[in-house]
């Protein structure tokens, strides 16, 4: 049987007596202070006793250890109720008939189920307007599920078991009545799983949670937790949250909502969205997803930096000349033009995925691996950044191209794109962090669709070696001899460091070679999809990889003025052929800061 990679066999760390925590709970009630450790330690104890393992959060700490570092006021029920004994989790995918749900969310849920990472009692619900029966939903998602390459054992059986936990409810996104019907179905499943009967309607979202309720719920040990995944266009986010919160939130456990980007189009609309969501949800309940934060190599950034002495001391303006964050896709909008045209590449990729990577890359050492400590550091970086200027941006759009007899369409040939659109499908930008560590270091971003390759990477170019003894052997182009650290996020995940090396032989000839950590060779196990990690984190209440509202505000503050200027001035993007390396303007922008794009140099590897 597969054991969830998040769990580890344990025993020694089990609390010696559950009574100790019951006493803590009694004291907490008396003092009106609820230590977050109490319920989670109880749950931890129970998990270890029952199943012989302890749940770990994705930062590698058992959740109870993380939360025991702080004392929360007892009204912070979301944290206090995070782990409960014999609870159920219902996951409702709103927009279940859509592209993202089919492509990513259901397959990720199945992968988690396959790995035994989902809670013992869980149910998956699809919700959308399309009329489907449970069986039709199962047929639809059954086609998209795959088995892990390295573990095909019992896959068919597992798939069948998973599909039997999937149900469907058809409804309108703005109908409280339809969400109430969903609530009834959820309750029915939950009560069957927990062995007690549903007790009627639930119309209140914020059920006040008093210590006595917590203690009762701990003693009974049962709560019905609900996760809603909003896989729908952004214009209906608020309707769904309003309806779900009023009629389909959990009366006994947590209710969390995963929200997909885009989170607005600019600072103002993002602020409005946040305010609207917060009319119905607390910040703790909102899980704003940026799936790049769930990618393995992005997760590894902090490990690389903070657990290796050879990197951290070099991580500053003193040794780093520039940092490049590069995203490219070798396909165009292909049917998503309707969505894309309203946003463009800066909003689609830079303001979120690349900026999040930048913040993680550049932040100071957090106090701990706790979500709030990490997010605090990220916000500080974002708030130390200079607002992006138009002079530091280059925009492009792909045009049609014929290669090898194959005709590749222009962006504006996409039937879902308005004729004459000026929306950029490519952008390059130079950003700066005005703090002591990064003063003067250009952070260059480049993102584009319909380019020559599909790739996402971070390239760190180091300074030249002062008074280099081997200057003579390098010739005049010192750039060729500088060290470069490349973190290739995808595909073919790898971390490699370009170093100078003597070519073996009697003469003193040097070349640039790579110290190469290629994941496929070192770690043969398949890397989980980002959505798996993030869904599991949301279920476990781990918020570290989700965007907090102040992070979002800071991110929009950087990009909003330039986006407005580009649109107000109707700046025409530089055209580049589909399948090319993008507009020449990107080279001039880099050259302005004495930088060469690492992915385009002759030494590129």
Ligand X SMILES: NC(=O)C1=CN([C@@H]2O[C@H](COP(=O)(O)OP(=O)(O)OC[C@H]3O[C@@H](n4cnc5c(N)ncnc54)[C@H](OP(=O)(O)O)[C@@H]3O)[C@@H](O)[C@H]2O)C=CC1
Instruction: Give the residue numbers annotated as catalytic, written as ranges.
Output: 353
* Closer CB to ligand X, 349 or 379, in the complex: 349
- Which stretch in 125-133, 215-223, 370-378, 592-600 sits in contact with ligand X by CB under 6 A? 125-133
Q: Does 454 bind ligand X (CB under 6 A)?
A: no
* Closer CB to ligand LXAUTJHC, 56 or 291, in the complex: 291
- Which stretch in 53-61, 92-100, 357-365, 537-545 sits in contact with ligand X by CB under 6 A? 92-100
Check whether the bond before 361 is cis (ω within 30° of 0).
Answer: no
How many other CB atoms are there within 10 angstroms of residue 566's CB atom? 21
Check whether the bond before 491 is cis (ω within 30° of 0).
Answer: yes
Closest by Cα among 286, 284, 204, 287 to 252:
204
Residue in the shown chain whose Cβ atom is closest to ligand LXAUTJHC: 348
- Which stretch in 98-106, 430-438, 460-468, 597-605 sits in contact with ligand X by CB under 6 A? 98-106
Taking the complex as a whole, how short is the minimal distance between the CB of residue 430 and ligand X, in angstroms? 26
- Cα 87 to Cα 42, 120, 193, 195, 293: the distances in Å are 13, 8, 9, 11, 28
**HEC profile for 435-462?**
CCCCCCCCEEEEEECCECCCEEEEEEEE
Q: Are 427 and 444 in contact (CB under 8 A)?
A: no
* Closer CB to ligand LXAUTJHC, 104 or 498, in the complex: 104
Candidates 236, 422, 497, 600; binder of ligand X (CB under 6 A) is 236
* Closer CB to ligand X, 41 or 230, in the complex: 230
Closest by Cα among 396, 543, 599, 508 to 57:
543
Q: Does 231 bind ligand X (CB under 6 A)?
A: yes
* Closer CB to ligand LXAUTJHC, 445 or 481, in the complex: 445
Q: Is the dihedral of CA 441, 447, 452, 456 positive or negative?
A: positive
Taking the complex as a whole, how short is the minimal distance between the CB of residue 337 and ligand LXAUTJHC, in angstroms? 11
Q: Does 62 bind ligand X (CB under 6 A)?
A: no
Closest by Cα among 169, 154, 250, 265 to 207:
250
Taking the complex as a whole, how short is the minimal distance between the CB of residue 327 and ligand LXAUTJHC, in angstroms? 7
Taking the complex as a whole, how short is the minimal distance between the CB of residue 514 and ligand X, in angstroms? 32
Taking the complex as a whole, how short is the minimal distance between the CB of residue 105 and ligand X, in angstroms? 9
Taking the complex as a whole, how short is the minimal distance between the CB of residue 182 and ligand X, in angstroms? 14
Q: Does 232 bind ligand X (CB under 6 A)?
A: yes
Closest by Cα among 553, 562, 51 to 345:
562
Candidates 15, 29, 53, 130; binder of ligand X (CB under 6 A) is 130
Residue 284 DSSP code: G
* Closer CB to ligand LXAUTJHC, 102 or 291, in the complex: 291
Q: Which residues of 329-351 are buried (b: 16+ CB within 10 A; e: fewer)?
A: beebbeeebeebbebbbbbbbbb
SS3 state at 499? strand
* Closer CB to ligand X, 110 or 443, in the complex: 110
- Which stretch in 38-46, 254-262, 404-412, 560-568 sits in contact with ligand X by CB under 6 A? 254-262
Residue for token pair 């089990």: 14
- Cα 359 to Cα 306, 364, 518: the distances in Å are 15, 10, 25
- Cα 49 to Cα 14, 19, 52, 189, 500: the distances in Å are 8, 14, 6, 27, 54
Q: Are 154 and 223 in contact (CB under 8 A)?
A: no
* Closer CB to ligand X, 57 or 97, in the complex: 97
- Retrieve residue 76's tokens: 């912070």
The item of ligand LXAUTJHC, ligand X, none sharing an interface with residue 348, based on CB under 5 to 8 Å by kind, is ligand LXAUTJHC
Q: Does 409 bind ligand X (CB under 6 A)?
A: no
- 159-178 binders of ligand X (CB under 6 A): 173
The item of ligand LXAUTJHC, ligand X, none sharing an interface with residue 357, based on CB under 5 to 8 Å by kind, is none
Q: Does 49 bind ligand X (CB under 6 A)?
A: no
Rounded Cα–Cα distance for residues 400 and 408 (Å):
5
- Which stretch in 99-107, 108-116, 470-478, 498-506 sits in contact with ligand X by CB under 6 A? 99-107
Residues found near ligand LXAUTJHC in the complex (CB under 6 A) = 291, 329, 348, 456
Q: Does 129 bind ligand X (CB under 6 A)?
A: yes
Taking the complex as a whole, how short is the minimal distance between the CB of residue 331 and ligand X, in angstroms? 12
The residue ranges that bind ligand X (CB under 6 A) are: 95, 97-101, 128-130, 173, 231-234, 236, 260-262, 339
């Amino acid at each position: 049987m597969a054991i969830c990679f998040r769990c580890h066999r344990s025993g020694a760390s089990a609390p010696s007596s559950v009574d100790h925590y019951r006493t803590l709970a009694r004291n907490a009630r008396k003092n009106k202070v609820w230590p977050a450790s109490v319920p989670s330690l109880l749950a931890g104890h129970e998990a270890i006793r029952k199943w012989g393992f302890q749940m770990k959060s994705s930062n590698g700490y058992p959740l109870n250890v993380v939360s025991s570092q702080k004392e929360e006021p007892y009204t912070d029920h979301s944290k206090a109720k995070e782990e409960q004994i014999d609870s159920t989790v219902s996951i409702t995918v709103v927009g279940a008939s859509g592209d993202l749900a089919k492509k990513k969310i259901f397959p990720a849920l199945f992968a988690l189920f396959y790995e035994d990472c989902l809670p013992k009692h869980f149910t998956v619900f699809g919700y959308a307007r399309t009329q489907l029966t449970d069986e039709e939903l199962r047929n639809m998602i059954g086609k998209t599920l795959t088995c892990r390459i390295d573990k095909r054992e019992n896959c068919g059986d597992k798939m069948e078991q998973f599909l039997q936990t999937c149900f469907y409810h058809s409804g309108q996104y703005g109908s409280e009545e339809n969400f109430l019907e969903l609530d009834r179905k959820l309750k029915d499943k939950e009560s069957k799983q927990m062995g007690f009967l549903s007790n009627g309607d639930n119309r209140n979202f914020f059920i006040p949670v008093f210590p006595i309720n917590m203690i009762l719920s701990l003693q009974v040990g049962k709560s019905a937790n609900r996760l809603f995944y909003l896989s729908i266009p952004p214009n209906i986010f608020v309707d769904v949250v309003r309806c779900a919160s009023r009629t389909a939130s959990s009366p006994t456990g947590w209710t969390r909502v995963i929200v997909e980007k885009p989170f607005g189009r600019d600072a103002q609309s993002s602020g409005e969205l946040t305010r609207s969501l917060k009319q119905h949800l607390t910040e703790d309940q909102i899980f704003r997803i940026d799936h790049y934060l769930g990618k393995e190599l992005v997760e590894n950034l902090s490990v690389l930096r903070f657990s290796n002495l050879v990197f951290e001391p070099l991580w500053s303006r003193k040794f780093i000349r520039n940092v490049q964050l590069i995203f490219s896709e070798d396909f165009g909008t292909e049917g998503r033009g309707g969505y894309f045209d309203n946003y463009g590449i800066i909003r689609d990729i830079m303001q979120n995925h690349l900026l999040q990577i930048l913040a993680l890359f550049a932040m100071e050492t957090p106090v701990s691996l706790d979500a709030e400590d990490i997010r605090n550091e990220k916000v500080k970086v974002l708030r130390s950044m200079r607002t992006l200027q138009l002079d530091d941006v280059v925009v492009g759009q792909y045009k049609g191209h014929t290669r090898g007899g194959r005709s590749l369409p222009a962006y504006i040939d996409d039937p879902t794109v308005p004729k004459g659109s000026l929306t950029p499908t490519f952008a390059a930008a130079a950003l700066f962090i005005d703090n002591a560590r990064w003063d003067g270091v250009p952070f260059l971003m480049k993102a584009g669709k319909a380019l020559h390759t599909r790739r996402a990477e971070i390239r760190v170019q180091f300074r030249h070696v002062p008074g280099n003894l081997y200057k003579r052997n390098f010739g005049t182009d010192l750039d060729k001899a500088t060290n470069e650290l490349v973190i290739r996020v995808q595909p073919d995940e790898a971390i490699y460091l370009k170093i100078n090396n003597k070519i073996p032989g009697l003469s003193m000839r040097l070349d640039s070679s790579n110290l190469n950590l290629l994941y496929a060779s070192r770690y043969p196990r398949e890397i989980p999809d980002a959505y798996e990690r993030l869904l599991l984190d949301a279920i476990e209440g781990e918020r570290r990889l989700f965007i907090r509202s102040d992070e979002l505000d800071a991110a929009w503050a950087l990009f909003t003025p330039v986006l407005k200027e580009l649109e107000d001035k109707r700046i025409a993007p530089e055209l580049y052929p589909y399948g090319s390396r993008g507009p020449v303007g990107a080279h001039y922008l880099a050259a302005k800061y004495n930088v060469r794009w690492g992915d385009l140099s002759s030494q590129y590897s």
